[in-house]
Amino acid sequence: MSRLSDLTRFYALLDWLEQRTGGRRSLSSLGQYRDWPRRSVYIFFDPNEPRQTSGTGSRVVRVGTHALIAGSKSTLRQRLSQHRGNLSGGGNHRGSIFRLLIGQALLASGAHPLCTSWGVKGDKRKACEAVGMDRQTLDALELPIELAVSNYIAALPFLWLDIEDEPSQESLRGFIERHSIALLSNHDRPFLDPPSEKWLGHYSNRKLVRESGLWNQNHVEETRDPDFLGALEEIVQDTGARHDSIRQ
């Protein structure tokens, strides 16, 4: 099968998933629901990014999962909360690569004043030492960017797949994430559903983000396994059946 045929089928399966689960959700409404599975693959769309090749509708801009390391206790809701940020609108980009990438692109676009500490080190204590600031000063400098990132992410609706397997590098969640990204990525291949000229990711300092058209770096250089679509179809069916049982 061609990549275009696979991409068209991929989006058709997501349309079916959306119908079976009652529609897309947003991070701003995260606290309104209690039916999240423990583990999942999540798929973010950008309503300002129309598909141009595989059909109509908004294109996928990030695919992710969590708890791939044996022993990990991370849940879907916890991971989504890290991406969303806190209820006051701020957040911690050092705990979410999704937030870090968006914030850097916002800064590079000129939409916000320079923030020299953004993306420095993996925790705030080390960041304060590296840039020579106290915690209060660093928080004040980063807060406007964290707020802007939260607003940006809150506008990206998402779907999720119920995959309750154990944490492992060989998990089904990892398989679906890997090959979904490989299929969607435009890195080093003919563009299908390319990003619009206004897509914020064009300002990213990460080549793999710019060239893939995704807020992802892992797996964008890989080749998809066409057989993953069969597995995805079964998961969509199972996810829909679970939600049917919840509604009854």
For residue 204, the one-letter residue type is S
- Ranges under pLDDT 70 in the chain: 1, 247-248
36 Cβ partners below 8 Å, 6+ apart? 75, 76, 77, 80, 160
Secondary structure (3-state) at 48: strand
The confidence score (pLDDT) of residue 242 equals 83
Structural contact between residues 25 and 163, judged by C-beta atoms closer than 8 angstroms: no
Calpha distance 232→248 (Å, rounded): 25
Lay out the sheet containing 40-50: strands in order across. Answer: 58-64, 40-50, 158-162
Q: Is the pTM of this model over 0.85?
A: yes
Q: What token pair was written down for 4?
A: 């275009």
What's the pLDDT at 1? 67
What span, in angstroms and rounded, lies between the C-alpha atoms of 64 and 42? 5
- Among 202, 169, 198, 170, which Cα is nearest to 186's? 202
pLDDT score at 28: 86
Q: So what's the pLDDT on residue 113?
A: 86
Q: For residue 247, what pLDDT is reported?
A: 65
Confidence at residue 11, expressed as pLDDT on a 0 to 100 scale:
98
First-to-last alpha carbon distance for the chain, in angstroms, is 38
Residues 151, 116, 114, 187: what is their CA dihedral angle, to the nearest 10 degrees? -60
